[in-house]
Amino acid sequence: MIGGAYIVVFKQSAKFDLSELEKYIVEDCHAPLTAKRKFEDLGKRLDWLEKYAELPAIDFNLSYQYGILVRTIPYGKKMTIVYTVEGENVYILRIMPQSMIIF
């Protein structure tokens, strides 16, 4: 279904990641405008995933941690979205710094 209309679904772990990211940027870094830009960038990336979720290759290096059909795409300058595609759904598993991905 490449080029289709996918439905993006956030798993609880991804929702937690977003909450922690926002908290860190706003409260610890005192940068609410940066947080706003980060989430605008995320919105653009999610729009792309709604159309082209199956284009990035499956990342077999992460399969032991997230499942055999996991994919990743960069988000912003240093973040990664970890997701899987099942039928018409794109499940966002994690949103984390690229440096946290262990191969």
> Residue 7 carries which DSSP code?
E
* Residue 15 pLDDT > 90: yes
Residue boundaries of the structural domains of the chain? 7-100
What's the confidence (pLDDT) of residue 60? 86
CA distances in angstroms from 67 to 3, 59, 62, 64, listed in the order given: 23, 10, 7, 6
CATH fold of 7-100 reads YaeB-like fold (3.30.2310)
What's the confidence (pLDDT) of residue 2? 54
**Mean pLDDT score across all residues of the chain:** 89
Rg (the chain; Cα; Å): 14
pLDDT over 70 percentage in the chain: 94
* Residue 3 pLDDT > 70: no
